[in-house]
Amino acid sequence: MALRKLVAGNWKMNGTLAALAELDGIAAAAAENGGVDVAICPPFTLIAPAVARAPSLAIGAQDCHGQAKGAHTGCISAPMLVETGAKLAIVGHSERRADQHETDAEVRAKASAAIAAGLVAIVCVGETEAQRDAGEAEAVVASQLDGSIPGEGTGVSLVVAYEPVWAIGTGRTPSTGDVAAMHAAIRAKLTALLGAEGAKVRILYGGSVKPDNAKELLAVADVDGALVGGASLTAAQFVPIIEGAVAASA
């Protein structure tokens, strides 16, 4: 089943109000290439102004808390994100799993909270270089999916992003064969976990996606889009990836 592709940009801890000027070109490209969905996830401080500047784009967050409210200093809840105009929330990104020591259980709680608030949850999974070299990549990702995917997830409310940790921001990418094998394994696991809905969940590839490799990666079976880091910070880099997704969908 061919799913509509989603190209999502993760700005990470980058961007001030001046950076929102890049959204003009991105929004224009998204409107011209209506065959794919486009989203930008800027820092929390930029979500509301991003929504105001580019109302036609899906604007998302890079995290949310697993509880709707409470004594959690410095945290942002999913209902708060909804009030800013956000439509999506990335949860379980490898940088948060590593730097903030997030567990699968915490990621699952965050995904559930996002879905309950009406957001689309983008759940990230992926192996380290050591785990891949040890032949454990698929087992590691399967375990993360087991622990991180909420049972109430559907093809509408849930997206999975596979991001080999060793390829993020390094310029290295797995072979298309490696990507195909992992995405097929993820699809099988999603079907085992969610039944028929597992076939409808979009699986994004994330890891040094750039204009020169986007079309090839996005043409791989079960690659339903991309989660893009650094290349999403400017329209000049991000628009060709959107166009690559359109070409791969043709």
**What pLDDT digit, counting tens, does each position of 117-163 carry?**
999 999 999 999 999 999 999 999 999 999 999 999 999 999 999 99
**pTM > 0.85:** yes
Asked about 93 being catalytic, the answer comes back as yes
Single out the catalytic residue among 22, 65, 93, 138. 93
Q: What is the pLDDT of residues 78-92, one digit of tens each?
A: 999 999 999 999 999
Q: Tell me: pLDDT of 168 over 90.
A: no
Over the chain, what is the mean pLDDT? 96
Segments making up each domain of the chain, as ranges? 6-249
Q: What pLDDT sits at residue 113?
A: 98
3-state DSSP assignment of residue 43: coil
Question: Is 138 annotated as catalytic?
Answer: no
CA–CA dist 63, 12 (Å, integer): 10
Question: Residue 69, Cβ neighbours under 10 Å: how many?
Answer: 10
Q: Say which CATH class 6-249 falls into.
A: alpha beta
Q: Which of 163, 183, 197, 243 is catalytic?
A: 163
Distances (CA, A) of 33 to 6, 17, 42, 100, 159: 12, 26, 22, 37, 21
